[in-house]
Every structure is written in C-alpha cells, then in structure tokens.
Amino acid sequence: MRQLTSYKGITTTIFAIILIVTLSLFFSFSETDTRDASWWLSLGVLVLAEVISYGFVFHMIESGHEFKASVPAYMSLAAVITIYDAAVLLHIVLFWLIFDIPFKIYLFIHILTLAAMLIVGLLLGMAKIFIRSQEADEQIRIQSMKQLYIILHGARMELDSCQHADRDTLRELLSSLEEQLKYSDPISHPALVLEEAELMEKVRQLDSGVRSFVRERPTLHSSDELRQLMLDIAKILRLRNERMTVMK
C-alpha cells in the first residue's frame, strides 16, 4: 500500500512538473496581443494530452494485479496515447508554428486526431474487457473440473480405510477415473454444460455412496452399484472429451 502511494506521488509530481514547464513555455514566449485562438487551442490540446497520459498511468498503477494480467492490452492503449501525444506535438510545430494555417482547419485537425485516438482507445478497452471476461469464465470452468478431481480423490482416500472385500476393485476403478479426469481438457465449453452438470451430479452421488459404503451404513449403493456408477462416470467423461476434441 505504501509503495502504491509512493508511485502515485511520483506520477503526480512528474505530471505537475511537465504541466508547469508547458505553461511557462507558452506564457514566457508569447505576448498578450499574440495569444490568438490558435495559441489557446495549442495550449489546450497539449495540456489535454498531458492529462490523458497522466490519467492512464495513474489508472495503470491503481490496477495492480489487473495490469499484470492484461499487459498486452495496457501496452496497446499506452501505444495509442503515446502516438496521440506525438501527433499533438507535430500538429503544433508543423501547422501552427511553421505554416500557421487558418484556425478552423487547425481546429478540425486536432478534433480529428482526438476522435481517432478515442475511437481506437475505446475499441482496445472493449477488447480488454472482453478478454478479461473470457479469462474469468475460463477460470470458472477450470475450477469446475478441479472440483471433480478433488471429489474423486477424496472418495478414493475414503476407500483406503475400508476393509471390504471389494475395496481393491473399487479403488482401482476410482484410480482409473482419476487418471482419466487428470488428463482431460481442464477448460470446459458452454455447449457441454449439460454433460458436465450430469458428470458433477454423478461424481457427488459416487462420493456420498462411497462414504456410506466405507462406514457400512445402510445405503442403496452396494459395491456392484458403485462399480456401475463409476463406469457411467467414465462413459460420460469419455463422451465429454470426445465432443471437446471435435469442438476444438
């Protein structure tokens, strides 16, 4: 937190220095009667470019972990802002100081440049939001597959403490399921939501049945039924992986 505050302070100080230098140069090298509309426009767009750059850097510092996760998107925005800053300086030097073109044309050039920067910046911002949303959805789908693996692993650990005659057979089937799930594509697909919901339901049912089986409580799940449930899970998982391969 202290480091973040320090970065913000440094950024603000740099911006303040640049702003003071800009104002000093404009007011020091001009007479009151020479400060026409083009002069004020040049000062305004230059200060605007500096404010945009400052705001972007400040936002980037505040973003923290989001910035680290979206470096390409932020760098693209930084490139657009840098190009805009350079274009503003070029327009001031070329069209105002050297050629001194008419104010209306000069104003139109700056408006066009600003509009182009805003449009490209908004498109990149939308792309960044879309990518972050996709990544978040992907993480949720990955967590779902991890949860399945954890439940199966927990059920197999329960069987380790069981002394039932069918323990080894059931444990072997569970280990096979774990391996099958371990090497399955961890990233889901929206089209597979029903299959994966059924898979999760079956795995939870298996986990509950194994725990009852191990504790020798009255249960509807005999060793044969648990074995059949494992085979059903393996079949659903295999079909899910086959569909996933086709979709990719």
Using H for helix, E for strand and C for coil, what is the string for the chain?
Answer: CHHHHHHHHHHHHHHHHHHHHHHHHHHHCCCHHHCCHHHHHHHHHHHHHHHHHHHHHHHHHHHCHHHHHCHHHHHHHHHHHHHHHHHHHHHHHHHHHHCCCCHHHHHHHHHHHHHHHHHHHHHHHHHHHHHHHHHHHHHHHHHHHHHHHHHHHHHHHHHHCCCCCCHHHHHHHHHHHHHHHHCCCCCCCHHHHHHHHHHHHHHHHHHHHHHHHHCCCCCCCCHHHHHHHHHHHHHHHHHHHHHHHHHC
Do 148 and 70 share a structural domain?
no
pLDDT band at 117 (very low <50, low <70, confident <90, very high): very high
Query: Domain containing 42: what range?
Result: 2-101
Angle at 82 between CA 79 and CA 88, to 5 degrees: 140
Residue 129 lies in a domain: no
Residue 64, Ramachandran bin (φ over 0: left; ψ between -120 and 50: alpha; else beta) = left
158-179 pLDDT tens trace:
887 777 778 888 888 888 888 8
Residue 194 lies in a domain: yes
Tokens representing 88 are 């503003």
Residue 91 lies in a domain: yes
Do 218 and 150 share a structural domain?
yes
Last residue of a domain, one of 77, 101, 125: 101
Position 47 pLDDT exceeds 90: yes
Last residue of a domain, one of 101, 129, 155: 101
Any idea which of 35-49, 65-79, 192-206 has the lowest mean pLDDT?
65-79
Q: What pLDDT is stored for residue 187 in this prediction?
A: 66
Amino acid at position 29, single letter: F
Do 13 and 95 share a structural domain?
yes
Do 97 and 141 share a structural domain?
no
Q: What pLDDT is stored for residue 218 in this prediction?
A: 46
Do 94 and 145 share a structural domain?
no
Residue 168 lies in a domain: yes
What is the Cα 101 distance to its own chain's centre?
A: 45
Residue 243 lies in a domain: yes
Average pLDDT over residues 148-163: 83
Domain count, the chain: 2
Do 171 and 81 share a structural domain?
no
49-77 pLDDT tens trace:
999 999 999 988 887 666 666 677 788 99
Residue 190 lies in a domain: yes
Last residue of a domain, one of 101, 122, 155: 101
Residue 116 lies in a domain: no
Single pTM value for the model:
0.68
Do 238 and 161 share a structural domain?
yes
Do 145 and 211 share a structural domain?
yes
Do 235 and 147 share a structural domain?
yes
Q: How far is CA 23 from CA 18, 84, 111, in A?
A: 9, 20, 22
Position 153 pLDDT exceeds 80: yes
Do 143 and 95 share a structural domain?
no
Q: What pLDDT is stored for residue 1 in this prediction?
A: 61
Position 134 pLDDT exceeds 80: no
Do 212 and 143 share a structural domain?
yes
CA distance 97 to 130: 43
Do 59 and 15 share a structural domain?
yes
pLDDT band at 139 (very low <50, low <70, confident <90, very high): confident
Residue 179 lies in a domain: yes
